[in-house]
């Protein structure tokens, strides 16, 4: 089960996702970048059943690209989140389908935003979020440590400590976390922890 | 049976007389039973010649029931009869369509029939519609493609930014259209969807040829379907392909190669080195034939920016053959593999135009401002 941790600052948002791919008891790959860039200023992280993840991510990315080609206009993070929510709801009501997503983005008037859609299709804008089994371990930690308008260094510190907590208490060893940031300059990598 | 030889001389005349007199099923079947088939055929032929020539098109059929009986009786091939006649229902005063029919009447007949000297009129008329559209010139170099489009003089209350002739089909493909603007919009949308479907399926960008061929297929479908008309636009597709080695193409460049395709209303897709469509296309094509080889020599070995400038100048020079080139009348775009599409700024266009013609960017201004009154249905 993939772990996604994300915290939104004032005018930036940071997201961290594990880079390992696991199939039953085997590490298939240890260093996979599972993020999808949408537009110039949005990151989409998807976790769930591997086939559904791959199909849904590609489909959403190409659909949004088609939209931008047709209209020549970029979509806001809010619109993209709602579009994704609608697609997930429709897929859920057709076949067995399990994915959950975290979307972070930066828009000019709004600042940074973080949207979470869980595997039942519930959309929520949040300030910090954890998805996966790690949520059981980390939400309480983040509740205590999060303050509004944090700096990048504090947020990265929280994420490093989150990884330590998981290493201590979570039986699945998710080897590395890839951290990315979205701000007014666009999408960037921060690093791997 | 010794009666027959005496009556034989009368039969052809008797048949006609009796046929019109008796007129009912009993009469004709009596005649049929007692005649040889050759006589009957003769009579039938002579009666048929009385009908007007119905080789092409609609025929008013006579509301005559014994006609129908004769048809049935001779077991005649019924492909020329109407749907009704085949079912034994008299077709009183209705028109009869040649070459197949349908209960839906005339809506299902394709208008793109071949004429007797091999032309399809509707497609040729569609090409005429394209010739009424505004000019598009596209030229490809070694690393750059340059496209120039003529700008419409919009009506005073219109916003010029919504009148687009250059469309981005994909990240690496740009299209320019001439002809009916609404048709262009639909085709470009289909091209976009197809290009992204390809990307979704293969995680790789489609070649320009693939997208152009798809657009050609769409256009062809509409020339062969009932109830539709051909598209009234030609599409110029420009983009870059990383070509791979094949038996027929053993030498490939290590960098993405520019490609230029023209798709016309017949669905025909052809690759060009330099092409022009729309009005005055003929003049511009001739100019390009004369001057394109020289530009290829100039461009050899130069860097991308110089090549851009040379090709833009050639595009502008070719447009100057037929109109004034200014930033208000012309829009120029360059396409490179590294930086994608770049529209030239107004000042650049004006400066380059002045430079070409030595300050007098008039050219052979043969066109007047006749299209200042814009109508939605007009060619664009």
> How many Å apart are CA B255 and CA B54, to the nearest integer?
62
pTM of the model: 0.71
- Contact (CB, 8 A) for A92 and A100: no
Buried-state track A92-118, b at ≥16 Cβ within 10 A, e below 16: eeeeebebbbbbbbbbeeebbbbbbbb
Phi, psi of B221 (to 5 degrees): -55, -40
Judge: B192–A69 Cβ closer than 8 Å, yes or no: yes
Residue B193 CA, distance from chain mean position: 21
Contacts of A68 in chain B (CB under 8 A): none
Q: Does B200 reach chain A within 8 Å, measured CB to CB? A: yes
Give the residue ranges of DSSP H helices in A117-174: 134-145, 152-169
* Ranges of residues in chain B whose predicted pLDDT is under 70: 1-111, 160-163, 358-380
Tell me, yes or no, if B190 comes closer than 8 A to chain A by beta carbon: no
What residues of B are in contact with residue A59 (Cβ under 8 Å)?
A: 200
Return all residues near B201 (Cβ < 8 A) that are at least 6 apart.
none
Please state, in angstroms and rounded to a whole number, the distance separating the CA atoms of residues A43 and A40: 9
Q: Is B358 left (phi over 0), alpha (psi -120 to 50) or beta?
A: left
Determine, for residues A58 and B168 on separate chains, whether the beta-carbon distance falls below 8 Å: no
Split at pLDDT 50, 70, 90, the class of A124 is very high
DSSP B179: E
Residue B232 has a CB neighbour count (10 Å cut-off) of 22
Chain A residues whose CB is inside 8 A of the B170 CB are: 69
Residue A88 is part of which domain span?
4-192
Both ends of chain A: CA-CA distance in Å?
18
Judge whether B22 and B28 are in contact, CB under 8 Å. yes
How many domains is chain A built from?
1
Q: Are the beta carbons of B205 and B170 closer than 8 angstroms? A: yes
Q: Give tens-digit pLDDT for B85-109.
A: 566 655 454 444 444 444 545 555 5
Is B22 or A5 the better-scoring residue by pLDDT? A5
Distances (CA, A) of A152 to A132, B193, B233, B242, B255: 24, 40, 54, 42, 41
Which among A36, A57, A66 is the top mutation candidate for probing chain B, defined by the most B β-carbons within 10 Å of its own β-carbon?
A66
Q: Give residue A169's pLDDT.
A: 94
Backbone dihedral region for residue A48 (phi beyond 0: left; psi -120 to 50: alpha; all else: beta):
left
Residue whose entry in the numeric block shows the structure tokens 């009786």: B73
For residue A154, the number of C-alpha atoms closer than 13 Å in the C-beta half-sphere is: 13
A69, A74, A87: which to substitute to probe chain B, counting the most B Cβ within 10 Å? A69
pLDDT value of residue A92 = 94
Q: Using CA atoms, how far apart are residues B126 and B264, in angstroms rounded to an integer?
A: 9
Kindly state the DSSP code that residue A112 receives in the 8-state scheme: E
Task: Name the β-bridge partners of B137.
Answer: B148, B276
Query: What does DSSP assign to residue A144?
Result: H
Average pLDDT over residues A155-163: 96
In this structure, which long-range contacts are made by residues B284-289, counting pairs with CB atoms below 8 Å and at least 24 apart in sequence? B284/B135, B284/B137, B284/B318, B284/B319, B284/B321, B284/B322, B287/B317, B287/B318, B287/B321, B288/B137, B288/B139, B288/B314, B288/B318
Write out the two tokens for B169: 């089909």
- pLDDT value of position B155: 79
Which chain B residues are closer than 8 Å to A72 by Cβ? 168
To the nearest whole Å, the CA of B170 is away from the closest chain A CA by 7
CA distance A108 to A41: 10
Token pair, residue A26, equals: 């085997």
Joined tokens for residue B304? 């991308």
Could you report the per-residue pLDDT of A160-188, keeping only the tens digit for each?
999 999 999 999 988 899 999 999 999 99
Provide CATH 3.60.20.10 ranges for chain B: 135-344
Is B163's Cβ below 8 Å from some Cβ in A?
A: no
> Which has more pLDDT, A69 or B138?
B138
d(CA B109, CA B82): 14
Chain A residue nearest residue B170, CA to CA? A69
CB-nearest to A69 from B168, B197, B203 is B168
Count residue pairs from A and B with Cβ separation < 8 A. Answer: 21
Q: Which CATH number characterizes residue A11's domain? A: 3.60.20.10
Number of Cβ atoms within 10 Å of the Cβ of B122: 19
Distances (CA, A) of B373 to A60, A127, A189, B377: 43, 55, 54, 12
Cβ–Cβ contact B170 with A under 8 A: yes
* HSE of B257, CA atoms in CB hemisphere, 13 A: 13
> What's the distance, CA A136 to chain centroid?
17
In angstroms, the Cα distances linking B68 to A122, B20, B45, B217 are 71, 13, 14, 44
The answer for residues whose C-beta is within 8 angstroms of residue A138's C-beta and 6 or more apart is A5, A130, A162, A165, A166
Which among A62, A70, A72 has CB closest to B199? A62
Question: Which CATH code fits B135-344?
Answer: 3.60.20.10
* Cβ-defined contact of A65 to B196 (cutoff 8 Å): yes
Of A58, A69, A70, the CB nearest to B200: A58
DSSP B192-258: HHHHHHHHHHHSSPPPHHHHHHHHHHHHHHHHHSTT----SEEEEEEEEE-----SS-----SSPEE
A136, A149 contact by CB (below 8 A): no
């Amino acid at each position: 089960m993939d772990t996604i941790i994300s915290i939104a600052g004032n005018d930036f948002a940071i997201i961290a996702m594990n880079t390992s791919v696991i199939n039953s008891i085997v590490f298939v790959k240890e260093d996979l970048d599972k993020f999808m860039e949408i537009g110039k200023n949005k990151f989409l992280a998807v976790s769930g059943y591997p086939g559904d993840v791959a199909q849904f991510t590609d489909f959403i990315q190409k659909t949004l690209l088609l939209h931008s080609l047709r209209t020549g206009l970029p979509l806001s993070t809010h619109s993209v989140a709602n579009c994704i929510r609608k697609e997930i709801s429709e897929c859920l009501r057709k076949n067995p389908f399990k994915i959950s997503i975290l979307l972070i983005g930066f828009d000019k008037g709004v600042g940074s935003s973080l949207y979470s859609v869980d595997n039942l299709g519930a959309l929520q804008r949040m300030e910090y979020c954890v998805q996966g089994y790690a949520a059981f371990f980390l939400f309480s930690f983040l509740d205590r440590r999060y303050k509004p308008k944090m700096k990048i260094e504090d947020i990265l510190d929280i994420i490093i400590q989150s990884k330590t907590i998981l290493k201590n208490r979570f039986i699945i060893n998710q080897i590395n976390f890839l951290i990315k940031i979205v701000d007014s300059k666009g999408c960037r990598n921060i690093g791997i922890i | 049976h010794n009666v027959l030889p005496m009556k034989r001389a009368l039969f052809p005349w008797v048949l006609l007389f009796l046929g019109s007199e008796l007129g009912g099923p009993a009469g004709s079947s009596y005649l049929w039973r007692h005649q040889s088939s050759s006589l009957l055929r003769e009579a039938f032929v002579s009666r048929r010649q009385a009908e007007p020539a119905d080789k092409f098109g609609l025929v008013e059929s006579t509301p005559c029931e014994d006609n129908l009986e004769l048809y049935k009786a001779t077991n005649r091939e019924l492909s020329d009869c109407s749907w009704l006649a085949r079912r034994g229902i008299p077709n009183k005063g209705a028109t009869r369509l040649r070459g197949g029919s349908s209960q839906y009447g005339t809506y299902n007949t394709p208008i793109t029939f071949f004429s007797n000297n091999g032309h399809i009129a509707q497609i040729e008329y569609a090409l005429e519609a394209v010739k009424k559209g505004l000019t598009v010139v596209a030229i490809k170099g070694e690393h750059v493609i340059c496209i120039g489009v003529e700008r419409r003089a919009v009506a005073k209350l219109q916003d010029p930014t919504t009148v687009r002739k250059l469309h981005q089909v994909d990240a690496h493909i740009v299209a320019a259209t001439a002809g009916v603007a609404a048709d262009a919009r639909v085709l470009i949308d289909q091209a976009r969807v197809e290009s992204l479907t390809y990307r979704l399926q293969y995680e790789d960008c489609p070649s320009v040829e693939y997208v152009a061929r798809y657009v050609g297929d769409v256009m062809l479908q509409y020339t062969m379907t009932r109830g539709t008309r051909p598209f009234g636009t030609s599409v110029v597709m420009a983009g870059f392909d990383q070509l791979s080695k094949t038996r027929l193409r053993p030498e490939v460049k290590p960098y993405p190669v520019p490609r230029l395709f023209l798709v016309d209303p017949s669905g025909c897709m052809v690759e060009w080195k330099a092409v022009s469509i729309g009005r005055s296309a003929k003049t511009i094509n001739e100019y390009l034939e004369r001057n394109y080889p020289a530009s290829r020599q100039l461009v050899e070995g130069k860097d991308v920016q110089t090549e851009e400038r040379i090709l833009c100048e050639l595009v502008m020079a070719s447009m100057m053959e037929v109109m004034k080139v200014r930033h208000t009348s012309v829009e120029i775009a360059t396409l490179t593999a590294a930086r994608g599409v770049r529209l030239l700024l107004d000042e650049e266009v004006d400066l380059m135009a002045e430079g070409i013609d030595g300050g007098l960017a008039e050219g052979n201004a043969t066109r007047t401002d006749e299209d200042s009154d814009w109508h939605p249905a007009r060619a664009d």
